[in-house]
Structure 1
């Protein structure tokens, strides 16, 4: 079941999948159509990105529940000042007025990605925009790890969860990419809703232990906190909840957990792995896929370890053939 959707995230002894995080955030403006297209063209066939809905229920690709001032400029070209408007308070027309094509290098977040190019004219895309992109004939091999975001601070949180799932699933179905999409979230309650609303798509369960702090410029993974302390084993809990992929924060991954997850039939896709030493550790642990801001950096480490990121039978220019 779900063989087609999971194929892009399933590794083996000689293959680990490269998953572009927010496209390739280390070098391209994050969660932009420009960044996604560039990432695919460099040989990455799986994308991980974040989706939530606007005030008028349009699914959009953006990470934080509010516009991040470190990557957002006004129509006049000025960096956004506080207060940062919440996505749930903006219509898509209002949201589309902002430019998210560059980093403010004078901020802590901006200094995290010194190699990222600076562009102008990049708007927060609708989910539908990305789906049209991957439906181009040359991109029909691309798989999606679609992270559904919930906002616990909205007054009607439970209703908003259901509206978000429904709106996202409707757009995925409208573009007929269910067979290439995995639904992915820290909010395990929303994943249960996904399993009911969209049984034709597998679910991927994100986790992060609470002792790990949120990084600059990012909302914390608070949706998962409610489950910590009640779980004897995170992989077991994912399997019990009907998940097919376990997506842990890479610092939380142990050899024992990887072995346990594999025994349970889960795929393992740690995030967000950017340092070469951490990449090598994940490769040596034998995970199925690695989510990274630096796909080219990960590809180089895999070449050194003689590991492919595509199977030999797959028709892609990025395939690595053994000597």
Structure 2
């Protein structure tokens, strides 16, 4: 199958693509419409985001399976206390009671992003809300790297996992966004469901080798990512064998040799999440197809200083 999504993410002479991670997490609250709008205004045409579903089956944009006290406030503006509610246990109406406009600077997660703006009154959006925004004429060239979050508690619940994929695909199809959407996950079994249910959207295989430490304040994906025992050089072949079209390695897990192998296999390679200038420089030197970053402006400026760009037009 010829996928119209691929050229938007594939590098070209003089071009390394730029993906705004959760919008522009280093600058504005992640996975919010405000964060996505900011990224779009700065010339970012590729957006990475995370989705799961509420108790009543509404697909929403959020990374963690629980509302995390480091970034969620209650209706009174207080940081969450006690048990962190699970998104899948809340209705969408209940979810709207919570504010996700800022980070608790005293938390380990908040300390990672000291420059993120602190806003009030932001809500976890529905996937449908972002898809509606992208129907506006000025955003018709924007493409999505849409990560479906796999709940480790539901690995044996085939029906629930399939229902999540079907709900996500239904939203994308209702907005006629299939030609601009890539389905993306650490859970390769879930991606097999995606390929079966939505063959018109290519699959993007995330990888992170187990020896790399998890990021503070974020759900780990190691329980669902089947790469234990692999080497860096194994990963492109395993992705290709699974009929993936995109390989998305953690930036510390890519080498010139593994990138060359990915190219031989026809894979588009997107590295995540690259924030430090020296790491961005190294990815530019490698010549990856795309760089996913919390700080899109840093990538833009470093590309421009090299005489490169993130757009081909």
TM-score range, shorter chain: over 0.9
Q: CA deviation at 1:225?
A: 3.9
Q: Distance in 1 between the 2:224 and 2:304 partners?
A: 34
The residue that corresponds to 2:267 in the other structure is 266
The residue that corresponds to 1:105 in the other structure is 105
Q: CA deviation at 1:223?
A: 4.2
The residue that corresponds to 1:49 in the other structure is 49
Cα 1:44/1:155, change in 2 over 3 Å: closer
Q: CA deviation at 1:16?
A: 0.4
Q: Where do residues 97-176 of structure 1 align in structure 2 (5 Å cutoff)?
A: 97-154=97-154, 157-176=157-176
Q: CA deviation at 1:307?
A: 1.3
Unpaired runs of 5+ residues, structure 2, are none
SS in 2 for 1:25: coil
Q: Distance in 1 between the 2:226 and 2:309 partners?
A: 37
Does the 8 Å contact 2:18/2:296 carry over to 1? Answer: yes
Q: Distance in 2 between the 1:165 and 1:285 partners?
A: 34
Does the 8 Å contact 1:186/1:223 carry over to 2? Answer: no
Q: CA deviation at 1:229?
A: 2.3
The residue that corresponds to 1:318 in the other structure is none
Q: Distance in 1 between the 2:311 and 2:140 partners?
A: 15
Count of residues paired in the alignment = 312
Q: Distance in 2 between the 1:233 and 1:224 partners?
A: 18
Does the 8 Å contact 2:21/2:292 carry over to 1? Answer: yes
Deviations 1:186-232 (A, max 9, x none): 00001000000000100100000001121111111124443422677
Q: CA deviation at 1:154?
A: 3.9
Does the 8 Å contact 1:183/1:202 carry over to 2? Answer: yes
Q: Distance in 2 between the 1:112 and 1:201 partners?
A: 34
Does the 8 Å contact 2:206/2:249 carry over to 1? Answer: yes
The residue that corresponds to 1:278 in the other structure is 279
The residue that corresponds to 1:293 in the other structure is 294
Cα 1:266/1:156, change in 2 over 3 Å: closer
Does the 8 Å contact 2:186/2:207 carry over to 1? Answer: yes
Q: TM-score scaled by structure 2?
A: 0.97
Q: CA deviation at 1:159?
A: 2.0
1:61 maps to 2:65:
no
Does the 8 Å contact 2:72/2:102 carry over to 1? Answer: yes
The farther-off stretch of 42-51 and 156-165 is 156-165
Cα 1:184/1:159, change in 2 over 3 Å: same
Q: Distance in 1 between the 2:123 and 2:129 partners?
A: 11
Q: Distance in 2 between the 1:237 and 1:35 partners?
A: 34
Unpaired runs of 5+ residues, structure 1, are 315-323
